[in-house]
Structure 1
Amino acid sequence: MLDTPAYALADEGEVRNLIRTSPWATLVSATPGGLIASHYPFLLDETASGIVLLSHVGADDAALHELGQHETLVIFEGPNGYVSPSWYGRPTGVPTWNYAAVHVYGRPRILSAHRNLEVLERLVDHFEDPLPNPFRMRGTLENSAYADRISVGTTGFALPVDRFVGKEKMSQDKPGEVVARIIETLRQPGPYRNPALADRMAGVNSALRNTHRGYPVTP
């Protein structure tokens, strides 16, 4: 990821928050056979010191990634979307794309079959809890036995994060009145309506000065 200090997302707490709110991520490994990419949901191990990710992959994917044999990259993306210069209310401008993203690096540790099943159950509970009638992986004896059978085809892992690089490009280089117009437009009906991005922009820019700070506009 290009190093743009003006847009750096460097606070560990903020990185954790982005992972919590955007758990669907891309797992990338560089293997002798080439680059391998897969897509899975991740959870944070909230009991660990530092950032530790928990997830699972299919057993075939684990073999393709040579999981646990070398460092891997996991990419998380927060709200993102197109920003038109026609929203700036200024005579000059160029289109851009606002986004939040974090790249985390670490070497996965393969979990035991028992621990893998625990992580699978935590993943299910995490995403089911908001529902009025949440499904439980072990809610019935029949489904519990079924979960035991299918979990054999998955490989659970913990990934202690050795380092991360984050970027949050939310029009920080623009004057306050321009930022406000972009946010308002993103909330309105239209082809680029994006209230999640508008909310993210509002939060990021709330503590910044409302004057142009001369940052380069970099994708």
Structure 2
Amino acid sequence: MHPNPVFRQTEEETARAAAAARGFGVLTAAAGDEVLAAHVPFLLEDDRVEAHLVRSNPLARALAGGPLRARLIVSGPDAYVSPDWYGEPDLVPTWNYVAVHLHVTLALAPPESLIGHLERLSARFEAALAPKPPWTHHKMSEGVMARMMRQILPVEMAVERIESTFKLNQNRTAPARAGAADEIAKGRSPGTELAGLAALMRGVDTA
């Protein structure tokens, strides 16, 4: 998380909603003398996260010894910002971004919860593809889904704390921020989801 408090004023519910909307992050935990990480799709509701891991993932193997303190890192839109875009002198390049960190206790979930988790997870993302008819595991040949499920384990996370950074040029003047947002919205800046980041910058209220 960025140390400047001006970038860390986002309400917890807004940060939670941003993480839930993304639904994909990096799950990290320390195990022994290693820091383990896995990229996972997930579902977040209230203070509970559900996800799954491949059985051979070192993080899944570490959970055999019991729950772990972990962090689920969720990235939002981001972009490089050129100082030329501010219309003000003596400024330097930076990178604007959105990030949410969920501090969690990570544990294995009951094995019987796996199919329900997979159904909820696919339904959540398939809904974004409407009007395409949603994919369901019932479209698979008999026995195939069961064989594939043997390769993964359901996990659950209890959210203990949420931190976020919404770095949107809050430390610049409104005209400077608007100038940078306009250039980012043109889609040429290095980064991801540039239009979304520009919209967030334009919505900043520093009053």
| TM-score, normalised via structure 1 length | 0.84
Measure, in 2, the Cα distance between the counterparts of 1:75 and 1:129. 24
Q: Is the 8 A contact 1:79 1:200 kept in 2?
A: no
Q: Which of 139, 148, 151 is residue 146 of structure 2 equivalent to?
A: 148
Q: Which of 50, 53, 56 is residue 57 of structure 1 equivalent to?
A: 53
In the superposition, relative to structure 1, how do residues 65 and 105 fare at CA in structure 2: closer, same or farther (>3 Å)? farther
Measure, in 1, the Cα distance between the counterparts of 2:89 and 2:138. 61
For 2:49, the aligned partner's letter is L
Q: Is the 8 A contact 2:43 2:49 kept in 1?
A: yes
Superposition pairs of residues 178-193 of structure 1, within 5 angstroms: 178-192=176-190
Measure, in 1, the Cα distance between the counterparts of 2:63 and 2:128. 35
Instruction: Point out where structure 1 has 5 or more consecutive residues left out of the alignment.
Output: 210-219
Measure, in 2, the Cα distance between the counterparts of 1:113 and 1:122. 15
Instruction: Point out where structure 2 has 5 or more consecutive residues left out of the alignment.
Output: none
CA shift, 1:52, in A, is 1.2
SS of the counterpart of 1:173?
Answer: coil
Q: Which residue of 2 aligns with 1:119?
A: 117
CA shift, 1:42, in A, is 1.2
CA shift, 1:102, in A, is 1.2
Superposition pairs of residues 133-144 of structure 1, within 5 angstroms: 133-139=133-139, 142=141
For 2:63, the aligned partner's letter is E
Q: Is the 8 A contact 1:54 1:157 kept in 2?
A: yes
Measure, in 2, the Cα distance between the counterparts of 1:59 and 1:14. 33
Task: Give identity over the alignment, percent.
Answer: 26
CA shift, 1:43, in A, is 0.9
Q: Which residue of 2 aligns with 1:70?
A: 68
CA shift, 1:127, in A, is 1.0
Q: Is the 8 A contact 1:183 1:202 kept in 2?
A: yes
Measure, in 2, the Cα distance between the counterparts of 1:187 and 1:10. 22
CA RMSD of aligned residues (A): 1.9
How many residues align? The count is: 201
- Structure 1 stretches of 4+ moved >3 Å: 62-65
Q: Which residue of 2 aligns with 1:13?
A: 13
Measure, in 2, the Cα distance between the counterparts of 1:24 and 1:34. 23
CA shift, 1:148, in A, is 2.0
SS of the counterpart of 2:137?
Answer: coil
Q: Which residue of 1 aligns with 2:195?
A: 195
In the superposition, relative to structure 1, how do residues 189 and 60 fare at CA in structure 2: closer, same or farther (>3 Å)? closer
CA shift, 1:2, in A, is 4.2
Structure with the bigger percentage of strand: 2
SS of the counterpart of 1:201?
Answer: helix
SS of the counterpart of 1:183?
Answer: helix
